[in-house]
Amino acid sequence: MRAAACVFTLLFAPPAVAQGDPRLRSVPYVAEAVTVLKVVPGFVATVVLSPDEQVESIAVGNSAAWEVTASKSGDHLFVRPLTPGVTTNVEVVTDTRHYSLLLQSTVEGDPEATFQLRFDTAPAAAPAAEPVRAVGMPGRYRLSGSRLARPVAISDDGERTQLMFDASATLPAIYARDAQGHETLVSMRRDQDVWVIDRVWPRYVFRLGAATAEAKRVTQ
């Protein structure tokens, strides 16, 4: 009897949840920031919004290549690439917030491919990895790694980091790395031809598919 009970438990126990799966991402909500979302054709990604908001409108740049729909509850989005190799954007307006996402179709095996993207709308707590506190001390950066992933220019004014990418380039995912090697996904906003990160970090990591690059801050 005990053996039968054990078999029953094994057959009907809930599946174990993988810890730290990189395909399940959580990012802080930042107004006027663009968040990159990479999805593999044939797969769907879920964008989780705050449970206290409802989607009011969705505008997709290339609706022939991407499908973006809202759940009945109004606080989830389902994102599907319909055509391989197409990048576009989507603007989502809810009853309380505005979300800007850059959608990139990618390939299986891409470590940046996402199944779930959750926006954390709670008030920001003090970050575990402190950015450089260098007000009034502008910095330049030493770039290394693949030219496919890195910006054509990067600098900061001591408070914000400015990046420029080639107009035809696909934007990489950008991470800040602290002295212990811990990485934090960062968001950025567009200001005309410049992308702005509203902090200064000692090192940035850029990932675009298998291509990786780094930018290390050097105080002027």
CATH of the domain at 44: 2.60.40.1080
Range of the domain at 34: 24-120
The residues of the chain scoring below 50 in pLDDT are: 1-19, 124-130, 132-135
pLDDT of residue 187: 83
Is 7 inside any structural domain? no
pLDDT of residue 9: 38
Is 68 inside any structural domain? yes
pLDDT tens figures, 140-181: 899 999 988 899 999 998 888 999 988 888 888 888 887 777
Phi-psi region of 143 (alpha: psi -120 to 50; beta: other; left: phi over 0): beta
**Is the whole-model pTM more than 0.75?**
no
Q: How many structural domains is the chain composed of?
A: 2
Co-location of 177 and 211 in the same domain: yes
Amino acid found at 136: G
Residue 86 CA, chain-centre distance (Å), reads 17
Question: Looking only at Cα atoms, what is the longest distance across the chain?
Answer: 75
Number of C-beta neighbours around residue 112 at 10 A: 19
Is 198 inside any structural domain? yes
Q: Strands across the sheet with 203-208, in order? A: 183-185, 173-177, 203-208, 211-219, 139-145, 153-156, 161-164, 194-197, 189-191
The pair of structure tokens assigned to 208 is 């675009």
Co-location of 202 and 144 in the same domain: yes
Number of C-beta neighbours around residue 157 at 10 A: 14
Number of C-beta neighbours around residue 72 at 10 A: 6
Is 200 within 8 Å of 140 (Cβ atoms)? no
Between the alpha carbon of residue 79 and those of residues 84, 159, 176, the distances in Å are 14, 34, 26
Is 38 inside any structural domain? yes
Amino acid found at 217: R
CA gap 202, 61 in Å, rounded: 34
pLDDT of residue 37: 92
Co-location of 98 and 152 in the same domain: no
Co-location of 168 and 107 in the same domain: no
The pair of structure tokens assigned to 123 is 């008030």
Number of C-beta neighbours around residue 150 at 10 A: 25
Is 64 within 8 Å of 53 (Cβ atoms)? no
